[in-house]
Amino acid sequence: MEASFSLMIWNENRSRLQSFEGESNSRSLRYGKDENAIKELLCHRTSAQIAQITRAYEDLYKEKLMDRLNSEFSAILQMHSKPAIMLWATDPADRDAKWAHKAIKEKKGERGALMIIEIACGSSPDHLMAVRKAYSTRYSRSLEEEIAFTSAFKEPMREFLVQLVTSYRYKGDNAEESSAQSEAAILYNGLQTNHLLQEQIMRMISLRSKSHINATLQYYQQEYGKSIEEELAACTSPFSALMKVVIWCLISPEKHFAEVLRGSMEGLGTDEDTLTRGVVSRAEIDMELIKEEYKRRYNTTLTHDITEDTSGLYKDILLALIGPEKEP
């Protein structure tokens, strides 16, 4: 007998209680041919709910939902809509594992390093562990092994990336004041000498908790009169831009991702890969903070810019994932 299940969920995008039927949603995906129905079924669901839909689908039809999306819906999904739907329907850890592999094998250089940093520093320690496990399962090699032996990154950046992806940070709020003070001095010395990736700094940034790093940066500003952003902007080290991304992803990821999303839509054309990755990867994490930062920094809304820069189902998917803007 086919098993069915039902649970009540709070859907923040719609701000009302809804009934979520995993089996019913699975049947709709099996037989539905309407692209808007696909969007409604998947883009208004959390990753946990999509996982339940996926399990129900496989139990009912003995095939993987991702295979169904990839084949059956190819004809009706627009060019940029399909990757967005496919990525959103993918387990978050597996999705990041795929992005990490792409960063190593295809992007390489600074852009690939940025993707690795986002994954390593912009999520929780438990999620990073899940990504590493998913990577090993999918590619039969560890993520740190791939980075350590790739030619995509040069030393010392390669060593720094290995340290970042193998870190499991303390998640609490405690910070040692004396250590924060001494490490602020180490960071100051590295900035003054343009030697950002010296061993002590790499160890501090890759191992210390986010609360401890935040305390170190606050002490830095008190002691030396400038914020770390100001100092990195003036630093001539080739690694200053990447170090800013590391620090922002650890302490204020909304700043980094607001910048990433803006950059994907600036100038001629749209970088759909970056736009999709930015929206999909942060939709369940800190999208409200990103939208607030975006509005504060650029004096417009993320919703407005996506609406102006994209079209059709792709636009609708992105808007569904970011949710409505807050009323002033």
Which residues are annotated binding-site positions for Ca(2+)? 32, 72, 269, 309-310
DSSP 104: I
Contacts 24+ apart (CB under 8 A), 119-124: 119/165, 120/161, 120/164, 120/165, 120/167, 120/249, 121/164, 121/245, 121/246, 121/249, 121/250, 121/253, 122/249, 122/250, 122/253, 122/256, 122/257, 122/281, 122/285, 123/96, 123/285, 124/171
Which of 208, 201, 197 is CA-nearest to residue 186? Answer: 201
Distance CA 192, CA 180 (A): 18
Distance CA 234, CA 238 (A): 12
Q: Which residues contact 222 (CB under 8 A, 6 or more apart)?
A: none
Distance CA 196, CA 200 (A): 9
CA distances from 170 to 87, 215, 251 (A): 29, 14, 14
CA 312 to chain centre: 24
Which of 64, 109, 63, 90 is CA-nearest to residue 241? Answer: 109
List, as residue ranges, the binding site: 32, 72, 269, 309-310
Distance CA 55, CA 62 (A): 10
Q: Is 36 helix (H, G, I), strand (E, B) or coil?
A: helix
